[in-house]
Every structure is written in C-alpha cells, then in structure tokens.
Amino acid sequence: MEEVEVVVVGAGIAGLSTAWRLAAAEREVLLLERFALGHDRGSSHGATRIFRFAYNDPTYVRMAQAALPLWRELEHISGEEILRVTGGFDAGPDHRLTAIKDALHACGAEAIWIDGAESRHQFPWIDLAGADTLFSPDTGVLAAARALEALASAGRSRGAELRENLPVRSLAPDDEGVTVATDDGEIRSRRVVVAAGAWAKPLLEPLGVRLPVRVTREQVFYFRGPDDVRPFIHHGDISRYAVPAFAGAPGIKLAEHTTGEETSADGRSFEMDPEGAARVAAYVERTLPSFDPEPVAFETCLYTNTPDEGFVLDRVGPVIVASPCSGHGFKFGPFVGEILARLATDRESPLPLAGFALNRF
C-alpha cells in the first residue's frame, strides 16, 4: 500500500494552498482532485475574485491582512501579477458600514467614510441614491484562475504531488492514521485534510463527522462598463458585489450573494436561473446606468454555506475538516492553507481556532 505523510482531498483554493504550505515546510504531501485542475464544477474557478480587508469581524480582517504577504510571495515565485490593489468600497445601511469601519480600525487598517455627494463624485458610474460609502484602499482584484495555476506550480516545485481526475471514495481513520480509498487503490497517510468543498459533507458523514453546510448554486454575470469601476459590495436585503475586469475576465463581474437554489455537488445545474437573471438585470438598470445592460458572459459556481457563514477549520482525530467557504473564502486562501498545514502536522496555529470549530454549531 502506498504511504504518504499527508493527503489533501480537493484541489480548489484551500487544498492547493494547503499543499503549497505543507511542501514549503518540507512535508510530504499528496493532493487528490476528482476532476481536472481549474474545473468549473466547484467554487474556485473563474477569472477573478475580490480581495478585501473590509469585514465587520476583526478576525476576518486580520486573516485577510495575514494573507496579503503570502499572495505577494506567490507572485514572486510565479513571476505573475495575481493581486491588483485598486481600492474599493462598501455601500448599504449605516450600521453595517459602521461595523466594518470599527473592525478595520481595530486592526490598524484604513477606512474612509465618504458622504453621498462625494461618493457620487468619486464613483459616477454607480447610482446609490445619495447614500454614503465606506472606502477601503486595501481592496483589490485577485486573478483567480492564475492563482490556482501558480499555487499548483509552487507546490510541485517544493515536492507536492497532484493527481487529477482521481476521486476519493472513502476515508477510514484509526489510531495510527487514515486509509484513503481511491479508484487507483488505497493510500495510507498520517493525516488527511478534507478540503473538498461541496463534496466534503458526504465524504465525512460516514465517519460520524457532521459538517452543517448547505450547498447552493449561485450565478455570476459579466457586463461591459467603465474602465474606472472599483470593486464594491452593496449590502441590503439582497447583497450584491462587483469585481472589475482583470486577468482575462470577459467583463465586470456582478453577482448576488447567497440567493441561489439549494443543490448538491453532483446534482447541480449549469443553466441560467431566469428569475435571478432578471433581478440582476433590474439592479444594473437601476444602480449601474453606465453599464451595458446586456451581460456578455455567464457562469455558475457552488457555495458551501455554514449557518453563520463562518469557516470550519478543525481536526477530528487524524482528519482535518476544512470548509473555508460560504462564498467568501478565496481571498484568504494562502493563509488558510498555512493554518491547515499546521493542523495537519501538529504545529501551533498562527491564530486561535476556537471560532472555527465544528462544535460551535
């Protein structure tokens, strides 16, 4: 039987980042992916993601701050631009903006409150009906697809092995480690990191590990618009976000947050939801009058949502449970990978993990 120190299940942003950080620490790691790298069936594909410090929880602010130098390290290794800092803003109810401002300031990050008149002057391409905005100069755009390739290359360069198109069928933990069953046979490992996104819950359930996640299929649209668009999040009864075109994206990315239908990893649809598309079109016409109202591209992705939209980063015996998702995890990837790598090798975490434990639910 093949033996390896750590097996990582899932080569999305979390799994690739974990393999890189394990390999960088000179640990033996095998990464298993059920599809091809960069596939469109999960949560990590697509050209762009938003990067931001702007959260209303200082824990997540600090995590984004810790991720930034690791993104820069990955850029240095790859020789490619992966993160472009542009500045961006949050809009919505004042109490929401105040909470974000307070969290940023608590972590030493900059936050600039801009009144409605000045917001209209600085961001003439969006109509917020005179509302204030909160500007964060640390916000930017990640080249998501480029990042996955860079992480895979960085991991391989340090000895990590990636096997694509190889689903993990089951895990059998015991006092000495875990037996990982695949279509190519069994692998014995000391630790297993399950970073399988929407596939994690059914893989863990036979072990008696309950991962309380709800999988939804979300949809993303791309529009033509002004070149000076900044990343933004517009909080409300339905929250929406936009990401400027970058790294080969077909346009400005615009989507709703957590409005998709409940589904499963293997049962999801790739078709457009006309009701959701109509809501996005109405939002563009009302709020983004400078955009061409006809989308130029469309895609879907999966959210794996916890009840509080927080992450799960925990260990159950020799199995590390990783669900750093809920639709907002990409920006933290390298730092989450460092946390998981340390969990898998019995090293001290770079931050307290009680808030990410399974037993909080």
Pair (227, 285) in one structural domain: yes
- Alpha helices of the chain — where are they, by DSSP H? 13-24, 58-78, 94-106, 116-122, 144-157, 200-204, 274-287, 333-344
Given 305, 320, 335, the domain boundary residue is 305
C-alpha span between 80 and 145 (Å, rounded): 12
**Mean pLDDT over residues 256-270, rounded?**
96
Q: Which pLDDT score, from 0 to 100, does residue 180 have?
A: 98
Selection from 353, 344, 352, 324 nearest residue 25 by Cα: 344
Phi, psi of 68 (to 5 degrees): -55, -50
Q: Which pLDDT score, from 0 to 100, does residue 168 have?
A: 98
**Domain containing 105: what range?**
87-138+214-305
The two tokens of residue 299 are: 């895609």
Place of tokens 């209303």: 56
pLDDT in tens, 9-22: 999 999 999 999 99
Pair (355, 236) in one structural domain: no
Pair (22, 162) in one structural domain: yes
pLDDT in tens, 282-341: 999 999 999 999 999 999 999 999 999 999 999 999 999 999 999 999 999 999 999 999
pLDDT band at 348 (very low <50, low <70, confident <90, very high): very high
Q: Which pLDDT score, from 0 to 100, does residue 107 have?
A: 98
**Mean pLDDT over residues 266-271, rounded?**
96
**Residue 316 contacts by C-beta under 8 Å, 6 or more apart in sequence?**
207, 209, 358
Q: Which pLDDT score, from 0 to 100, does residue 217 have?
A: 97
Pair (315, 293) in one structural domain: no
pTM above 0.75, yes or no: yes
Q: Which pLDDT score, from 0 to 100, does residue 160 have?
A: 98
- The mean of the pLDDT values for the chain is 97
pLDDT in tens, 24-69: 999 999 999 999 999 999 999 999 999 999 999 999 999 999 999 9
Given 285, 305, 325, the domain boundary residue is 305
**Mean pLDDT over residues 208-234, rounded?**
97
Pair (103, 131) in one structural domain: yes
Tell me how many domains the chain contains.
Answer: 2
Distances (CA, A) of 199 to 250, 260, 323, 361: 29, 18, 10, 20
pLDDT band at 122 (very low <50, low <70, confident <90, very high): very high
Q: Which pLDDT score, from 0 to 100, does residue 142 have?
A: 98
